[in-house]
Structure 1
Amino acid sequence: MSKHHMRGPLQTALATWQQARTTASSGAPPRRTGVAYHRAVNHLQMYACMLRAGPRPREEVRDELSATCHALSVLCRESVPKVAASGAAHYVAVHARTALAAAHLADPVRGDPGRVGAALDGPALERFDPDGAGDVLPAERIAGAADVRLMLASVIAERPPARGATGTPWRITEDADGGFRAAYRDRRRFRRAVLPGCAGLDPQAEALRLGGDAVRLHAALAAGLPGHRTELARAQRQLADLARLLGVAAPSVG
C-alpha cells in the first residue's frame, strides 16, 4: 500500500476534526458537539493504529506515526471538555486514556525528565492539524505529554476510577501486532491505556503520580528553555489543585 494511499484516511480524519471545530463554534447543542469530536477521534486514532499495524515497515512510518500520535493527543485535549459537556462521562475517560497513549508514543523522551535536555535539539515533525502551520518541535511534544498527564489526573480525581474502555489496562508500548484486525484491537487498547509506571496503582495514586510526573517534565523543559517557566508555574498550580481535590497534601516534586 503506497504512502499516498495511506494518507487518504489522514485527510479524512483532519476534515472530520475541522468539522468538529466548526460544530463547536456554531453554538450547536453539547451532545452534537461531543458526537462530532468523538467521530474525529475515532478517525484519527484509526489512522495511528493502521500505521502501527502495517503494512509499511515501522522505520518508514516512524516520524509519520509520531506526528499522528501528537495530533491525536492534541485532538483529545480538545475533545475531553466537549465530551464532558455532552454528559457522556464514560467517553471522557476513553478520550483521556487515548490522549495518554498517543502523547506518550509521540514524546521523544517517553516521560523521562533526564532525557529532556538532549532531546530539545532533535528533529521537528510534520504538523497534522486542520489549521496547522509550521512543524512540531520536540519541546512541544514533551510539553503535550506533560499536559495530557495533568488532564487525565484531573479526570481521575473528578470521575474515579476513569479506567476507560472495559478490559485489562494496557501498558503503553511501542510494540504492536500486524494486520488490519490488529489495528482495531490496538484502538481499543489505547482507550484503556496506562503508563508503565502507573500500572497497578489505585486511582488516587495514579492521579498523583501523573501530576507529579507532569511537573517534572515541565521543570526539565524550563531548565533548558527559560521561556517555559510560565508553563512550569501553571503545572505546579494544577498539581496543587489536584491534591486539594483529592484531599491530600501536594506531593513533593524534586
Structure 2
Amino acid sequence: MTDFSGKTALVIGGSRGIGAAIVKRLAADGAAVTFSYAGATDAAQALATETGASAVRSDAADRDAVIALVADAGPIDILVVNAGVLVFGDPLEQDADVIDRMIDVNVRAPYHAAVEAARRMPDNGRIIFIGSTNGDRIPFTGGAAYSLTKSAIQGLTRGLARDFGGRGITVNTVQPGPTDTDMNPGDGPMKDLMHGFMAIKRHGRPDEIAGMVAYLAGPEAGIVTGALHTIDGGFGA
C-alpha cells in the first residue's frame, strides 16, 4: 500500500466502477479524497459514507462546471479524470449530439480539468487520465468515435507531460481493457468476443486498475510521465 497521508486527491467520475475503486484505494491509502458524480446519487452517497470521501455532483460535459469543480477543490496533489462515456454504433446512424457529448466528457473535460488543476497543484503533483486500450486498437466495427476520444487522450498526456514537467508534475494515462463494471459486465453479451482477443481470458477487476493508479500517484513513479499504461489482459497485444 502507498502512504498518501497528507495528500489531497480529486477523482472526476468516482461513484461507480473503476472510479469507485480508485476512490476506495486512495482513501484507504490515506489521501483526503473528493470525487464527482453525475447522476448516481445513491451510489455516490454510499461510497462517501464508506470511505470518508466527499462527493460533489458535477456534469463532466459542462466545461464551466468542470473548471469550477477543480478550482473549488483548491491545491490538490493528485487528479484522476475517470469520467467517460461509451457510445458504439454505425457512424452513419449515430446522433451527432450524442457523439459531441462523448467528446465533451472524454476529451474536453480531461483537458480543462488538468489545466485548471495545474494552476494550483504543488510541485511533484500527479495527473492521471483513465483512457482505454481502444486508443491503440479497435478490432471491431462501431467504435470509431469512441476510439477517437481515447486516442486524443494519448496526445494530451504526452503534451501536458512536457508542459508541466519542469515542476515535477507527472501526467500519465491508464488504459484499461475489458473491465468488469456496470458499463461492461464480465458476464455480458460481448464477453466471448472480447475474451477472444485477450491472452488472459477474463475481464479485469476495477481494483486492479486502481492499483496501477495508486502506483502512478505515489512517490516511486516520480519519473514516470508522458506514458500510456495498458492493463488489458493482452487485448491489444
**TM-score of the alignment, normalized to the shorter chain, above 0.5:** no
TM-score normalised to structure 1 length: 0.35
Q: Which has the higher strand share?
A: 2
For the pair shown, which has the larger CA radius of gyration, 1 or 2?
Answer: 1
Q: Which has the higher helix share?
A: 1
